[in-house]
Every structure is written in C-alpha cells, then in structure tokens.
Amino acid sequence: MSDTETDRQVQPQAPLPTETPTLEADASSPPRRVLLGLRTLESFGYRDYRYFFFGALLSNIGTWTQTVALGWVIYALTRSSSALGIVNFLSGIPIVFLALVAGTLVDHTDRRVLLIRAQVLLMLQAVAFAYLNHTGHITIGWIYALTLVGGVIAALIMPAWQAVIPNLVPRSSLLNAVALSSAQFNAARFLGPAVTAAIMAVFAANEDLGITMVFVINALSFLFVIYALSVIRPTQVVFDRAEGKSRGALTAGLSYVKQNRHVAMHLMTATVLVIFGMPFMTLLPAIAVDALGLSGTGYSGLMGSNGFGALLGALAVASLPRSVRRERIIRDSLFVMALAAIALSFSRSYALSSVILVIMGASFLACVSSINTNVQVAVPDHLRGRVMALYVVAFMGMMPFGALGFGALGDLIGPMNAVLAGAIVLLGWAVYNALHPRLLCAPDCP
C-alpha cells in the first residue's frame, strides 16, 4: 500500500479546556491580531506555539548551561581536543543509525507524548551528572556513557521537534515559526553560557560545586518544557501504525529526497555546513585555553557571543518579508560563515574573537533556518517526520563525524589550523553554490 493511500486515524487527544482557542480564534482575538501584525512575533499569535516556545526556551537554557560546564569538565579531566570530539561524536552518532526508525515513529505516534517521555529521561541524565560530579566519581568513562544514552534519546525525538512546528501554526506562518524556534534555541545558546559563567563566578572558591549546581539547574529546567508539552494540543494526523512497520515506510523519506533534487541539495548543504563550518564549536574549549589564554568564564563568554549572534540572525530572518528568496539567504550566509571562520583562525584577541563568533552565529542561523523552512514547505505532511529525520541526520547526525575528525586534527595541527582547514572547504562549497544557483531552487522556482 502506498503512503498516499494509507488509512489515517486521528490520534485521540485529551479534551481541550473550554477556553482554549483554535488557530482561527487565536488569529481573530484582539491581542492576537496585534501580534500577527508584527512580522517578527507573528507566530506568538497562536496559543500552542507560545507554550511550545517558552517551555523549550527555559529547558534549552538549562541544556546549554550543562553543555558548557561539561565541555569544561572534559578538558579539565583530559586536556585533549580528541576527548571533546569523542563526546560530540557519541552525542550525535545515534542519529545516523536511528533516524529512519525515528522518522517513521514520529509519523505514526503522538509526537507530544513521545516528547514528554523523552524529556523525563533527559532530566534523569542531568541528575546523574549532578550526582557523579558532587560525589567526585565523575570520569571520562561515565561522561562517554551518559552522553551516548542522551544521544540515543535525542535521536528518537529530534524529528518530532522539527515535525511538530507545522502542527502549531498555519502554513503561511511557517517560516516565521521556524525562525522564532531557532531564535529561542539560540537565545538559550546565549543565555545558557551566561548563566554558567554567573554560577561559576558565584562558586569561584569551589568550582566543582558550581559545576554540580549547573547540572541541577539543567535537571529542573526540564519541568518547564514538560508542562508546556502537557497543555498544547497540536493538530497532528497520526497515520496507520501497521503501515509504519513496513520496509517501504522506513525508506519513503529517502525515496522522496531522491526524486526531489532541490531537497537533496538542501540536505547536502546542511551536511557540508555542520562538518566543515562547525568544528570551532567542538574546539572552542581548546581555543579558549591554548590560543586565547582564557579561564572558564572567558570560555563561557565566547560561547555566549556565538549564541548571541545566532539569536540576532534568527530575529533578522523572522522579520524578513515573505518575498525574500530563502535560497539567496543560504548562499550568502555560506560565504559569510566561511570568511568569518577564516578570520577566527587567525585571531588571538578575546574581543576580536567574540565579535567574529557573533557574525558566525548570525550567518549559521540564517542558513540553517532557511534550509529547514524550505524542506518543511516542500515535504507533504504524511512524509514530514521521515524527511525531517533525514534533515536531522544532515544537520545533527553529521556533526559528530566533523567533531571527531576535527578534534583529532586539532591535536595534530592545532585547533586554529583545524578551524582554518574546515573554513576553506566551506568556502569552496559556497563558491560552487554561487556558480550553480538553480540547484537549491524548486522546479517551479522563478
């Protein structure tokens, strides 16, 4: 039976509270009309999207506090760029092996319930990190193991995070919703390191206690997103589960991408961007210590600068009129990202590096949010989870390979030279896209 012929069944949902507005009621009520009139905040006119946004924001702030602290712990334990790369590899490699299964799961189960259960498990991971660090039992082995467990959980839900957004807003607001979701994630990237730096400054006399508190705060932050997910009611259609068990269901997303060249090109661009444009994130603890001579607070500041830039980029994309071609945003952002990475590889100043990281964050976010939106708009709803699973593979699944490879390269030639090598490859891909601009365009693209 083909995917288009699959019998559909609407997933039973809990009764809606009588005061809960529909999309139409949201759009017509007076406060919502004001928000809908503001292009940047358009998607906030929809109740479920607001809950989703702010719950995810608070949780992601906690997650980024943990990411920063964990990177510092790893480098303190090992003094090795390779160890940083291995941790990033373990966090992302499950995506490669589980993406097709996860995408099919997302299309054939209630995404909201799946996300809630996963948040509970990730909260327990944060509790484990807090316990191990507080008792002095934390080792690189424990970090590897817990990171791998977290990676498996994340692999199973990342397509759900992507696929649920179109269920919260109408199609006309999708670019804005994707950009705002990117903005909240990157606001967390900005605020999370700042929170980590503040906590470590408060506990400067006892750095281990400060790091433990970071893990505790991350665990508590999951309560916000769990609550938000418990009250929203996405307009999801769940497809027949029996169909989801067939081999054809698993490979339907791959077949769609093969038949749509511009979608494949978007996924390839995301892959090149994360492998060759993102090594600086893996190597940033080594760059902070070895090239810039910074402390943990300075390293947190660099992370925050990159997150702040990404936040600016997301807000800029959310404010763009619908007439702007997203393919052009992708091409221009690739150039800016590559040139900024080259500049970073030569910087030996904290202030200059911070400014460059702001530019890199903005260009990276503009590129990936445009790729995400183009893929979301192109894919039919009955394949959304499976195609977005491939996007997750391209965006997140390839990142561990870049982290592992460039972590090892950083040990061989130094972290700055490793960043330069990746930037040169990314620049080459930007030139290729500029010379062949139609590759990113849909067949009906003017």
CATH number of the domain to which 171 belongs: 1.20.1250.20
Please check whether residue 41 lies inside any domain of the structure: yes
Confidence of residue 196 (pLDDT cuts 50, 70, 90): confident
441 vs 446: CA distance, rounded Å? 9
Number of domains comprising the chain: 1
pLDDT higher than 50, residue 27:
no
Please check whether residue 254 lies inside any domain of the structure: yes
Please check whether residue 15 lies inside any domain of the structure: no
Model pLDDT for residues 319-334, shown as the tens digit of each residue: 777 677 888 899 999 9
Please check whether residue 445 lies inside any domain of the structure: no
Q: Which residues contact 310 (CB under 8 A, 6 or more apart)?
A: 182, 185, 186, 189, 190, 361, 362, 364, 365
Helices (H), 136-206: 140-164, 174-202
50 vs 27: CA distance, rounded Å? 13
Q: Encoding tokens for residue 35?
A: 């928000």
DSSP string covering 329-372: HHHHHHHHHHHHHHHHHH---HHHHHHHHHHHHHHHHHHHHHHH
| Structural domain harbouring 422 | 20-440
Contact 166, 384 (CB under 8 A): yes
Task: Give residue 297's identity as a one-letter amino acid code.
Answer: T
**Which of the given ranges, 59-68, 282-291, 336-345, 378-387, has the highest pLDDT on average?**
336-345
Helices (H), 203-260: 207-231, 241-244, 247-259
Please check whether residue 2 lies inside any domain of the structure: no
Model pLDDT for residues 230-276, shown as the tens digit of each residue: 998 876 555 444 444 445 556 777 888 888 888 889 999 999 999 99
Average pLDDT over residues 113-138: 94
Model pLDDT for residues 35-58, shown as the tens digit of each residue: 444 567 888 888 899 999 999 999
* Closest alpha carbon to 169 in 230, 109, 234: 234
Please check whether residue 446 lies inside any domain of the structure: no
Averaged confidence pLDDT in the chain: 81
Q: Which residues contact 41 (CB under 8 A, 6 or more apart)?
A: 35, 180
357 vs 364: CA distance, rounded Å? 10
Q: Is the pTM of this model over 0.75?
A: no
Please check whether residue 371 lies inside any domain of the structure: yes
Please check whether residue 83 lies inside any domain of the structure: yes
